[in-house]
Amino acid sequence: MVEELKVLNEKLPVIKAVGSDCWRPPQEPSVKLNFDAAYKTQTNKSCSGFIIRDGRGKVMGSGVTHHDHISDAFMAEGVACYQGLLFAKETGFTTVEVEGDSRTVIEKINQEGFGRADLDSVILDIKSMGSFFHQLRFKHVRREANRVAHFIAREGSCRSENTFWMEDFPSAVRDLVVAE
């Protein structure tokens, strides 16, 4: 049986999505907004982390925001997306590609209907922000392609206040940004 499995493994093609495990720059003139959330179930608190980069990978801005009364991880991810979009809007970006590693949140943003009332209120806020942008696209990516936003959210949860950086990012993620 073991020999048969070895033979099958040798004959079956290896399927791997090429390039899906790393961050890719956006098409000019777009900027790319990556977002993520760190959620603490015990306290119902979350920290949103986001970073905006241009087509050359240059950091245009980043930030962390803290939130209370968050019902679950999906809500935390939705709020993180909204906070990142709000930052992009306030800093004047009009053509934005948005990436996050929460498949549920990205799918809900891209679909027509609604389901869960608490998450849907955030999804509706995200969709309504579309009128402020010339072009706005949402895409799900794997965690590996969203590492910087993930790390910003996690590191941001150690901060006591909301923090925003223009053309900069937290020094703790410098090596990750440079590596991408």
Flag residues of the chain having pLDDT under 70. 1-20, 113-116
pLDDT computed for residue 18 by the predictor: 46
d(CA 172, CA 155) in angstroms, rounded, equals 8
pLDDT computed for residue 155 by the predictor: 93
Q: Does domain 24-179 have CATH number 3.30.420.10?
A: yes
pLDDT computed for residue 20 by the predictor: 58
pLDDT computed for residue 112 by the predictor: 80
Q: What is each CA distance from 11 to 6, 7, 15, 16, 18, in whole angstroms?
A: 9, 6, 12, 16, 20
d(CA 101, CA 147) in angstroms, rounded, equals 9
pLDDT computed for residue 15 by the predictor: 47
CB 42 within 8 A of CB 25: no
